[in-house]
Structure 1
């Protein structure tokens, strides 16, 4: 049940909306929500012993969402602050994997996958419903090391993000509005470490953002949504997958083109490295569930040995 509460005058401690979510089975919060934060520096996301803080730029405005760790009965309290608080609370079930149906996934033929599913029964795919908040950081992460991308994203949000509403950690930020994103000058993209190619891709998305969001929302299927995204210059197969995995809990899109993923999947499933084509061939028996299989591999505890050369961390800023 969701309750929308009036804030006390001059107080930010009282939630603007709150709920207690009662899933039909225990959920693995870190496993479900861990993919949403963009690295250890992301000012939209913070974990602590009590749970997770997450900020959103909802259709109704900024929101801070506090998701508590499950109680002993499996229920999950949550509270939200800001103009978008009610929207954030309404979106909570999807965020925690409601509607993500794993019942058709049969991994009984593979010991690693079978064991991972047995050990991680609370794993689900999270659905944020916010396309732009998944797409822009995916563009920032294109063809660079994770560390470099995480630092760039954090810089942009520290400089241009809005302080989060509510009583959360002071460093929390809400991503800029579309207008604010559009107003970031080219030299600040550069100063944040985002090279001109990625900056142009972000600007191409921002130029058509409202119509792109409508096209994806009106798409008759997730495959049609993927096609709509890939009409934007600079948004390819990898970026589309990284976006729709988060915004729409796409159960089948795999991040083809990732520097390490194909090697990881190959070593986990058959004990040797493969390329992207080999990865897709290995995952074909689970077509329709391939992203779920990837998540099971990542949750399995399998240790991937990175034997290849590491990508050098580049600095695209002016000195």
Structure 2
């Protein structure tokens, strides 16, 4: 963390947008907090304070800057890189777990006592679970105020506030304006009652086109739809269902959410951000991977590489089990059959998005009969689903990596490749190398990198702690075909 360091003040003085979301800059003389890149005049060092989160600044009595909107920034990349208790807790708080289950529910999911969790978060992040959840609620409410025409009482309910009075007091305290004043500052066209249009910010550069291309290659008919630069998919959310449509735009991802229950706004946004890996630090990743001459050409073609994440942990495990040792096209065809036969129909279909991924309960009962191909594979899908349905396997982003691997590999048919793929996509672990992956090995060969798992692992040590991102570059190389080899050799000779 950069808090309380001179480097933080230098980042503020330089208005360096790379640090937006990594820390908060508060100004004593004005009583406001800003993102590091705020265009306002840089205050004296003696008037500056730094906090790890917006919630910490709010707890200290500061209100949000009206000019730079410090809450509307990418999240800190530390949560995936650190993967400690604070990082895992932040993932779940962003998903709305505190609002749905309370602090005790959050502590139970993480495997710690409520007291210990509160002590750790307060010490490391400057605010406890309730303060962090309150900051998330305020931001969700602001999005609804500025992008929809729904009543303030509905906004308060959807954002998770206990009462209209609490909603009004919180908005005035944090943003220095009433909800009515905030609505007067609308940005963009208003949305309908169940529709929210918003911008998902990221740190530039960001290869959104690459992530959407990855998702499009694996899109399941009925559940996902891709074309004309857009990607849409169905979402199963805590309070209902939704459809998300994503499109790359200038300096952000344009997102349209159609929700059956607006209380799911925060959860949907958090899951989509993880799906697109929008909180990554592309500069740090590029500095490490760019030192390898065999990767440099690929990195230049895909600046701001991202690792596709997940909106549903069970879906990723099932896809991984089905996709072992077969092509992407074959895996897609097989998984589509599951969605068609076992997925629930959406109550509000749109275009080609008409179904949801099957629930754990339905898969546990019917997957073995519905899945074509090897019997063992179908039984593994059934056993994974049964473990989830019975509560023996939790697949949320707050899991400890080692414990999740152990739980997965305890199931017959789930090996190290599958568990590694799951922790990379569900937990966002940045340093996973799938050295036995067939497509990854093919991509490595096209770039002149050793293909044998042992040799590839040895070569990949120089990519740590960003081996997951290097793996995406190798997948892209495999998808682009043999022409990649000549370009790689030419680049290697020049270097």
Q: Which range is displaced more, 152-161 or 177-186?
A: 177-186
User: Is this contact kept in 1: 2:313–2:426, CA < 8 A?
Assistant: yes
Aligned to 2:280: 100
Aligned to 2:333: 151
Query: Paired residues, what number?
Result: 294
TM (norm. structure 2) is 0.53
Greater relative contact order, per chain length (Cα 8 Å cut-off, separation 6+):
1
Over the aligned positions, Cα root-mean-square deviation in angstroms equals 3.1
Q: Which range is displaced more, 47-56 or 130-139?
A: 47-56
Taking the aligned partners of 1:115 and 1:23, their CA distance within structure 2 comes to 23
Taking the aligned partners of 1:109 and 1:302, their CA distance within structure 2 comes to 22
User: Is this contact kept in 1: 2:299–2:473, CA < 8 A?
Assistant: yes
3-state DSSP class of the match of 1:21? strand
Aligned to 1:238: 417
Aligned to 1:3: 144
User: Is this contact kept in 1: 2:225–2:352, CA < 8 A?
Assistant: no
TM (norm. structure 1) is 0.78
- Report matched runs for 1:28-39 at 5 Å: 28-36=207-215, 39=218
Aligned to 1:314: none
How far is the alpha carbon of 1:106 from its aligned partner?
Answer: 1.3
Taking the aligned partners of 2:346 and 2:242, their CA distance within structure 1 comes to 7
Unmatched runs of 5 consecutive residues or more in structure 2: 1-141, 151-191, 484-495
Taking the aligned partners of 1:214 and 1:39, their CA distance within structure 2 comes to 24
Question: 1:126 pairs with 308, 311, 319, which one?
Answer: 308
3-state DSSP class of the match of 1:297? helix
2:470 aligned with 1:293: yes
Question: 2:234 pairs with 55, 72, 83, which one?
Answer: 55
Taking the aligned partners of 1:168 and 1:216, their CA distance within structure 2 comes to 27
How far is the alpha carbon of 1:264 from its aligned partner?
Answer: 2.6
How far is the alpha carbon of 1:34 from its aligned partner?
Answer: 3.6
Aligned to 1:180: 362
- Report matched runs for 1:200-215 at 5 Å: 200-209=379-388, 211-214=391-394
Q: State the Cα deviation string for residues 161-196 of structure 1 (Å, max 9, x = none).
A: 12335452245321112222223163322xxx2321
- Report matched runs for 1:1-319 at 5 Å: 2-3=143-144, 15-36=194-215, 39=218, 41-70=220-249, 72=250, 74=252, 76-83=254-261, 85-86=264-265, 87-102=267-282, 103=284, 105-166=287-348, 168-184=350-366, 186-189=368-371, 193-209=372-388, 211-214=391-394, 219-220=399-400, 222-270=401-449, 274-299=451-476, 303-304=481-482
Could you say which structure has the larger radius of gyration?
Answer: 2
Unmatched runs of 5 consecutive residues or more in structure 1: 8-12, 306-319
3-state DSSP class of the match of 2:438? coil
More helix by share: 2
Taking the aligned partners of 2:318 and 2:201, their CA distance within structure 1 comes to 32
Taking the aligned partners of 1:127 and 1:40, their CA distance within structure 2 comes to 14
